[in-house]
Structure 1
Amino acid sequence: MQQEYHDALSGMQGRDILVIGDMVADIYLDGRISRISREAPVLVLEQAGEKVVAGGAANVVNNIATLGGAVHAAGLVGRDESADGLRAILAKNGADVRGLISDESRPTISKTRIIAGGRATVSQQIVRIDKESKEPVHPVIEAELRAYIESVLPTVEGVVISDYGSGTVTEGLQTLLIDYCRAKGIPSIVDSRYAVCRFSGIGYVKQNDAELAAAVGRELATTEDIIRAAEELREELHAKGVLVTRGELGMVLVENGAVHEIPVSDKSEVFDVSGAGDTCVATVILALAAGAEPALAARLSNIASGIAVRKLGTSTVSVRELAEAVEKQHPEYPSK
């Protein structure tokens, strides 16, 4: 077991991964409660800080970078401060951001959270403001994104499609990526919030239990229900495997003829589950690109996700953190 982990973690370093999907700027506006407004029964906040964090597909990119991968980010952004912030965050960690195509007709997808607090009160989110375009991607912009993807595909060792329902992954781009990965034997994985059934031919599928229930159209009350549903989805998409995350119940990986139940790796306090699925996907694709067996890739992703949920907000996991967590849970694994 220890040699498997050592080989996987070592092999993950420098793997060339393409991530395409809905790039999101998570914006946190921190305000201190000043008074009640005279205009309406609402709080008046004095802005105390603002932070931009990579969200959506951008969080997958960030996690691959901090886990040691060589990652290419492909998606759409506007010509605005949110786009500048995303580029800076990803480039700082060494990601290739040339594939973040600017479209002045649409804003960068953003989720702005207003956080209110005071000297004697706990800060908490009081409202979230989302901004995105609902218009289809313009053919000229899609062609520019396609040209970038085609330019990097010859070097790529793994592909992630991160679909948050904002329309970045068009049918044409989806077909290009899936067909290329199947022809070249390159690992691929999709994480789709609302439309996973469209990704026929993908290598692996990541869903949480609620998303899987929506995909198959029924309640999944037991582990057996989840396994049956995951196998149905795997067969429908002609995929190699379906990985289902289940929160405090761990994960289930269903392959053709094999089922792997993976319990939670660390039952320490959970602070925030935001972005843990992105950490999971990032770890899986890097491990698969390194030649790890799918079950080992899933176990590593389970450990990495356990680190992510103990951090506030969307966050990344470093290869050092992952190696230390593996050593803690598997003392025979030698830390480097």
Structure 2
Amino acid sequence: MAVSPLPPALALATHAGSAAIRRSGLCRGCERSAKMSSLISAVEAGMTLVPACEVVARLPELQGRTVLVVGDVVLDRYVVGRASRLSREAPVPVLVHEQSFALPGSAANPALNIQAVGSRAIQAAVIGEDQAGDELAGLLASAGVDIRSLLRSPQRRTCVKQRILARGSLRFPQQVARIDWMDETPLSEQHVQQLAGEVRERSAAVDAILLSDYQGGATGGAVLEACLAEQEGRGVPVCVDAQGDLWQYRGVYCIKCNREEAMRATGRNLDTEADYASATDQVMTALGARIVAITRGAAGMALRHSQAGYLSLPAVNRTEVFDVVGAGDTVIALMTLGIAAGWDVRLLATVAQLGAGIVIQRLGNATPSLQELEQAAWRWLPPTSGEASA
């Protein structure tokens, strides 16, 4: 399959060269180092993170974008209690209730991440006409997300995941159980066509489309076809966070998955850089994508770009890990915004890694702000391009 065309913003950035460096507002020393780094091989460049001074100068470019987020949304509920003793009824802890709260989850979390950095998210999904649906819609609306494409159906149940957490001597409570209320019936053809219609109607005013696949059926078939038609016709890049079948996403601009999902899809063990290089090449060849990303947890991220080749970036935060829920959502949200802004692949991957590093320090789905990304850049990245990355 032919490689998808570059969106105008990214095509411009690809050929901008030193002019883009000058516009970024870097100091002269950083500008000289950036020009020099462009002469080394893509793989060598990919083994280092973008320096803090460049990241901080470019972060404001994430603001003012509009992204259509399509996918399988969930209401995440949390019940937190203090572990007081073991129950006499069974070998389980007795929890004294401390707090309960709810957050938008799954495909709703990237929308919150987009809002948190000063851009606009349009949420397209199907939920039930029930109390959980009311709560989820209200939480999204209160965060500023456009919910006019959030479809309500009396035939559907809003999916809920309730986590039970025990607070002990550790800084963060530990999850001891999760209860899921899921609607396992496939989306009806009517709902799929309605979602596809929302894609066609709303895409005229967006900078990118993000498909968040949590295997609920909201991102394939006619919905995917409508997204690809917008990419082909308007140059709107389609970015996918795939938990299900990677191979259905032929023609998308960018696709991201984690290590386990990549191994399942490719049939490969992923242990060495050579393994990741081969796997990303296999996925890119099959899908014709411009960017393929595999998140590797504490080992960072492996990427392949159709022009820059294979890249490998280390994780910025390897030690302060408390809750990994939502980290992948933050990564795809920031990568999508970076693509919409015309960033090169190393910059967008570095910022995505910063976002993930912040999220894993917190309980539940977290949404880093621009200020927090800036603080993380100065904390975790080399200040200038002349210093080695951590």
Q: TM-score, normalised by structure 2?
A: 0.79
Instruction: Look up the SS of the partner of 1:150 in the other structure.
Output: helix
Residue matched to 1:298: 349
User: Deviations along 1:280-308, whole A, 9 cap, x unmatched?
Assistant: 01111111111111221111111111111
Distance 2:128 2:83 in 1: 32
Residue matched to 1:195: 245
Residue matched to 1:272: 323
Instruction: Look up the SS of the partner of 1:87 in the other structure.
Output: helix
- Picking from 264, 280, 284, the partner of 1:230 is 280
User: Is contact 2:220-2:248 (8 Å) kept?
Assistant: no
Closer, same or farther: CA 191–34 of 1 in aligned 2, 3 Å: same
User: Is contact 1:209-1:226 (8 Å) kept?
Assistant: no
TM-superposed CA distance for 1:330, in Å, is 4.9
Distance 1:158 1:209 in 2: 25
Closer, same or farther: CA 287–120 of 1 in aligned 2, 3 Å: closer
Closer, same or farther: CA 150–271 of 1 in aligned 2, 3 Å: same
Deviates further, 160-169 or 145-154: 145-154
Distance 1:149 1:104 in 2: 22
Closer, same or farther: CA 36–225 of 1 in aligned 2, 3 Å: closer
Distance 1:53 1:267 in 2: 26
Closer, same or farther: CA 208–119 of 1 in aligned 2, 3 Å: closer
Deviates further, 132-141 or 70-79: 132-141
Closer, same or farther: CA 115–306 of 1 in aligned 2, 3 Å: closer
TM-superposed CA distance for 1:44, in Å, is 5.8
Residue matched to 2:370: 319
User: Is contact 1:31-1:116 (8 Å) kept?
Assistant: yes
Residue matched to 2:200: 150
Counterparts of residues 1-336 of structure 1 (less than 5 Å): 3=25, 4-6=54-56, 8-31=58-81, 47-117=97-167, 123-257=173-307, 258-328=309-379, 329-331=381-383
Distance 2:57 2:313 in 1: 20
Whose relative contact order is higher, 1 or 2, with alpha carbons under 8 Å and at least 6 apart? 2
Aligned length, in residue pairs: 333
> How many percent identity over aligned positions?
34
Closer, same or farther: CA 140–250 of 1 in aligned 2, 3 Å: same
TM-superposed CA distance for 1:132, in Å, is 1.5
User: Is contact 2:200-2:230 (8 Å) kept?
Assistant: no
Q: Residue 351 of structure 2 aligns to which amino acid in structure 1?
A: L
Query: Which protein has the bigger strand share?
Result: 1
User: Is contact 2:56-2:377 (8 Å) kept?
Assistant: no
User: Is contact 1:8-1:291 (8 Å) kept?
Assistant: no
Closer, same or farther: CA 122–278 of 1 in aligned 2, 3 Å: closer
Closer, same or farther: CA 119–231 of 1 in aligned 2, 3 Å: closer
Deviates further, 256-265 or 93-102: 256-265
User: Is contact 2:110-2:333 (8 Å) kept?
Assistant: yes
User: Is contact 1:35-1:43 (8 Å) kept?
Assistant: yes
TM-superposed CA distance for 1:35, in Å, is 7.5
Q: Residue 377 of structure 2 aligns to which amino acid in structure 1?
A: V
User: Is contact 1:8-1:290 (8 Å) kept?
Assistant: no
TM-superposed CA distance for 1:45, in Å, is 5.1
User: Is contact 1:8-1:287 (8 Å) kept?
Assistant: no
Distance 1:68 1:15 in 2: 8
Closer, same or farther: CA 48–307 of 1 in aligned 2, 3 Å: closer
Q: Residue 198 of structure 1 aligns to which amino acid in structure 2?
A: Q
Closer, same or farther: CA 218–153 of 1 in aligned 2, 3 Å: same
RMSD: 2.5
User: Is contact 2:172-2:322 (8 Å) kept?
Assistant: no
User: Is contact 2:64-2:119 (8 Å) kept?
Assistant: yes
Distance 1:274 1:171 in 2: 28
Distance 1:121 1:93 in 2: 27
Distance 1:305 1:116 in 2: 24
Closer, same or farther: CA 121–306 of 1 in aligned 2, 3 Å: closer
Instruction: Look up the SS of the partner of 2:150 in the other structure.
Output: strand
User: Deviations along 1:187-222, whole A, 9 cap, x unmatched?
Assistant: 221111121111100001111111111110121121
User: Is contact 1:164-1:192 (8 Å) kept?
Assistant: yes
Task: Specify every segment of 5 or more residues in structure 1 that has no aligned partner in the other structure, as ranges.
Answer: none
Task: Specify every segment of 5 or more residues in structure 2 that has no aligned partner in the other structure, as ranges.
Answer: 1-20, 26-53, 386-390
Distance 1:207 1:41 in 2: 37
Closer, same or farther: CA 118–13 of 1 in aligned 2, 3 Å: closer
